[in-house]
Amino acid sequence: MSKWWGIFVVAGAFALGAAGCSGPAAGPSLPTPAGETAVAGATSTTPPKPYLTSTPTLELNDRTTKPGTKIKFGEQAVVPFNSMYEKGLLGITITVDSAPAPDADIDNLPLKDEDKAKLRGKMFFFVRVKMVDMDGANFKEIFPPTLFPRTRSGGFPGVLIGGASTDVTGCESESMAPSDFSTPGAVFEQCELFFGTSSDPIVAVAYAQKPYEDTSSREVTWRK
């Protein structure tokens, strides 16, 4: 049976405001001098966000990793992915390492004292995700893909969820891709923190976002 060592949930409220502004009263129109063209307004340089509120259909092709594929840690899978701006191909490489959980790092985690006590003597597991923009799609501001790590016993490691920082020694997380993650070969790296014991380490990590599925025959899995 899986055990979640610590759970921290943050509920935040965000308010967006829009303020109207009024300009000076319109004056009389002036004729455009001969040889000049009137400009109606500046052209916006902000790229459109067609997938801000809608989810596109992502297709598999001859460049993408087939559903059900099992590869080793350190090898790359290529999956269809999308940002708010575009869809394209994302290369994903997973590696996992671990270290004893230092008391100083535990003390800095956003947990209650009783939850921190449960982590004493446990292991930190670092799931490192390297993402590569395979074809230059505008992937800026994407969140890292959702991954499902599994331990040797077949369960799941502990994890913190919420909006607070979970940076610890050797594993600093980035919430979203930088603005330059939009050119062929651009790299975005992320570290995700999990908890457990040395006798039940993470031995597999699965990716099951659409068009893949959360079944062994339809997910992509990295293994030792």
pLDDT digits (tens, 9 = 90+) for 55-73: 899 999 999 999 999 999 9
What DSSP character marks residue 170?
T
Q: Determine the Cα–Cα distance for residues 149 and 30; give it in Å rounded to an integer.
A: 67
CA proximity to 76, closest of 63, 94, 61, 62: 94
The strand order across the sheet containing 87-100 reads 76-82, 87-100, 123-133, 187-196
Q: What is the pLDDT of residue 25?
A: 41
Q: Determine the Cα–Cα distance for residues 192 and 129; give it in Å rounded to an integer.
A: 8
Residue 204 corresponds to which tokens in the numbers above? 């597999």
* Predicted confidence (pLDDT) per residue in 88-137, tens digit: 999 999 999 999 999 999 999 988 999 999 999 999 999 999 999 999 99
Q: Are 122 and 197 in contact (CB under 8 A)?
A: yes
Tell me the whole-structure pTM to 2 decimals: 0.78
Q: Are 129 and 144 in contact (CB under 8 A)?
A: yes
Q: Are 168 and 213 in contact (CB under 8 A)?
A: no
Span 152-175, mean pLDDT? Answer: 85
Mean pLDDT of the chain: 83
